[in-house]
Amino acid sequence: MGKVTGFLEIDRQDRKYKPAADRIRHYDEFMIPLSEEATKNQASRCMDCGIPFCHNGCPVNNQIPDWNDLVYHGEWKRALANLHSTNNFPEFTGRICPAPCEASCTLNLQDQPVTIKTIECAIVDRGFNEGWVVPEPPKRKTGRRVAVVGSGPAGLAAAQQLARAGHDVHVFEKNAKAGGLLRYGIPDFKMEKHLIDRRVAQMEAEGVIFHYEVNVGVDVNVRDIVAGHDAVVLAGGAENPRDLPIPGRELRGVHFAMDFLTQQNRRVSGEPLATNEPIFATGKHVVVIGGGDTGSDCIGTSVRHGALSVTQLEIMPEPPVKESKLLTWPDWPLKLRTSSSHDEAGAPRHFSVLTKEFLGKDGVLTGLRCVKVDGKMQEVPDSSFILRADLVLLAMGFVSPIREGLLEQLGVDLDNRGNVAADTRAYNSTREKVFACGDMRRGQSLVVWAIREGRQCAHAVDLHLMGETNLPR
Ligand SMILES: Cc1cc2nc3c(=O)[nH]c(=O)nc-3n(C[C@H](O)[C@H](O)[C@H](O)COP(=O)(O)OP(=O)(O)OC[C@H]3O[C@@H](n4cnc5c(N)ncnc54)[C@H](O)[C@@H]3O)c2cc1C
Ligand code: SF4
């Protein structure tokens, strides 16, 4: 612990955003990093508590007090090595992790947690700028072949760990580029995609071979992949979106959020849209149904398109603005969260609202009929109202992985939510030498959980192949 009285002397200071009026004109990131001195000061606020709750608050168990101390003492390279020992991709989490670590920080008892995520991002960004992040190829090869299906954060983390353990790793990805939802879901303004490209370059230099535009189970039989490898890791995500099958669902103008977001990410990167139906919010009244990250990303993207208005609907009741620390700390609290996209749009958010019907004329969406619901999800009598809408984006989450193709062909057992059944110790599915991790195993989740599962799954695969492993869990 560098500065014993740091938390008493220095207030929490976090990164700021560029002004909304400027940032909505482009799709670039808009976070303004702290200066080196300010970052060191913030790191010095870490109390190095006897029990660092942040270790468990962070799903990859980042050793936060240790690298805070190293940053405070200006030992950035050692801080980077420590950070990489638990997290393959801190530049992703340092940008888009919701930071459950900060919720569990002891200083959060007074709403002043250490700016952990900002410090994490500063360490890894500096590491790249200084040229400290270099390929780490294995010293010896094992001669074992591993296939990883899917190149989202889970597949990438598993592949990197397994390649560093000396295995020949082949990643099969149905899209033209790696990254999964990091690339095709999360907008560039939250995370620019060159960050994925430079990690992929590092992994290629470490020996990982990427096979793009190969939909396993469609373009190739998954049984051939299993036969040709010593182990197979399923990391295909949970891509089956939750639908809203109510009258008018077929109207032109009602779309899944992911169709809208993926198109925009492809536009930004110059990739073909892969559809004849471009979706634009320009000049439209947009209604986003669903209140999570995906909903927020739809709002930010609609604003950048030039929507006339953006309204968000959420079926759940409005959560409290402030949590009761005594009830929730050190866990992740349920409370009202306002994203940068909400700030940009000034978008009205309606809670406890159920959409009953999409309204239209000549096959084209014109509005929605909604009702209010009470705490038991029962309709409130006489609460029906109509919202004008030219574009509705369904952002109600994902139900499960896609069953057709890969999973059907493989015949692995699924759990009662339709995810691939596998535990978090051995990560093996019900098919021999087939493992599963990330959203495909745990259901829709977070990038940091995908990284954790990819790392732990790699540990399990290495143990399975070699009878022993040095890979961390
Ligand atoms: C719009 C949106 C915003 C989000 N924002 C955040 C956020 O801000 N912070 C956060 O932490 N999390 C966020 N998430 C969640 C996060 O992105 C996911 O939890 C995470 O990406 C899951 O990682 P994964 O590797 O398991 O799966 P994915 O990222 O879904 O990757 C799966 C990959 O497998 C490929 N694939 C699937 N089937 C096959 C096949 N048969 N053959 C070949 N390839 C296949 C897919 O093309 C894809 O590339 C967001 C999700 C969405 C949709
Ligand atoms: S990965 Fe997420 S939870 Fe872990 S330290 Fe970073 S911001 Fe916190």
- Alpha-carbon distance of 102 to 92, in angstroms, equals 17
Cβ(421)–Cβ(345) below 8 Å: no
**Per-residue pLDDT at 2:** 66
Cβ(348)–Cβ(288) below 8 Å: no
Which residues, 6+ apart, have CB-to-CB distance to 468 below 8 Å? none
Q: Express each pLDDT in 302-359 by its tens digit.
A: 999 999 999 999 999 999 999 999 999 999 999 999 999 999 978 789 999 999 999 9
**Per-residue pLDDT at 362:** 98
Q: What is the CA radius of gyration of the chain?
A: 23
Ligand nearest to the CA of 94: 2
Beta bridge partners of 231: 146
Q: Is the peptide bond before 153 cis (omega within 30 degrees of 0)?
A: no
Helix 293-305 with 257-269: angle, nearest 10 deg: 50
Atom number of ligand 1 nearest to Cα 219: 42
- 3 state SS for 209-222: EEEECCCECCCECH
% of the chain with per-residue pLDDT over 70: 100
**Per-residue pLDDT at 215:** 98
- Alpha-carbon distance of 140 to 144, in angstroms, equals 12
Q: Which two tokens stand for residue 94?
A: 């340092």
CA–centroid distance for 86 within its chain: 17
Beta bridge partners of 349: 312
Query: Measuring from atom 1 of ligand 2, which residue has the nearest CA?
Result: 93
399, exposed or middle or buried, with CB in 10 Å at 0-12, 13-18, 19+? middle
Question: Could you tell which of 89, 200, 293, 445 is best to mutate to test the pocket of ligand 1, judged by most ligand atoms within 8 Å of the CB?
Answer: 293
Q: Which two tokens stand for residue 452?
A: 């954790």
Q: What are phi and psi of 5, to 5 degrees?
A: -105, 15
**Per-residue pLDDT at 457:** 98
- H-helix or E-strand containing 459? helix 447-466
Strands 364-372 and 353-361: antiparallel
Q: What are phi and psi of 420, to 5 degrees?
A: -65, 125
Q: Express each pLDDT in 162-173 by its tens digit.
A: 999 999 999 999
Which residues, 6+ apart, have CB-to-CB distance to 226 below 8 Å? 147, 232, 410, 431, 433, 434
Ligand nearest to the CA of 218: 1
Q: Which two tokens stand for residue 206?
A: 């470490």
CA distances from 425 to 233, 304, 360, 429, 458 (A): 14, 43, 51, 12, 11
Atom number of ligand 1 nearest to Cα 154: 25
**Per-residue pLDDT at 345:** 79
- Span from the CA of 117 to the centroid of ligand 2 (angstroms): 6
- Span from the CA of 214 to the centroid of ligand 1 (angstroms): 17
Question: Ligand 1 site: residues with CB under 6 angstroms?
Answer: 96-97, 149-155, 172-175, 180-182, 185-186, 215-217, 235-237, 261, 293-294, 297, 405-406, 438-440, 445-448, 450
Whose tokens are 């299993």? That residue is 226
Whose tokens are 């990690």? That residue is 199
- Span from the CA of 100 to the centroid of ligand 2 (angstroms): 7
Cβ(465)–Cβ(427) below 8 Å: no
Q: Express each pLDDT in 218-275 by its tens digit.
A: 999 999 999 999 999 999 999 999 999 999 999 999 999 999 999 999 999 999 998 8
Atom number of ligand 1 nearest to Cα 449: 19
**Per-residue pLDDT at 48:** 81
**Per-residue pLDDT at 1:** 66
- Determine what percent of the chain falls in helix, strand and coil, rounding each to the nearest 5: 35, 15, 45
**Per-residue pLDDT at 291:** 86
Question: Ligand 2 site: residues with CB under 6 angstroms?
Answer: 58, 60, 62, 64, 87, 93, 97, 99-101, 116-117, 120, 448
Q: Express each pLDDT in 273-287 by its tens digit.
A: 988 899 999 999 999
Query: Measuring from atom 1 of ligand 1, which residue has the nearest CA?
Result: 294
Q: pLDDT below 50 — which residues of the chain? A: none
Q: Which two tokens stand for residue 442?
A: 């745990």
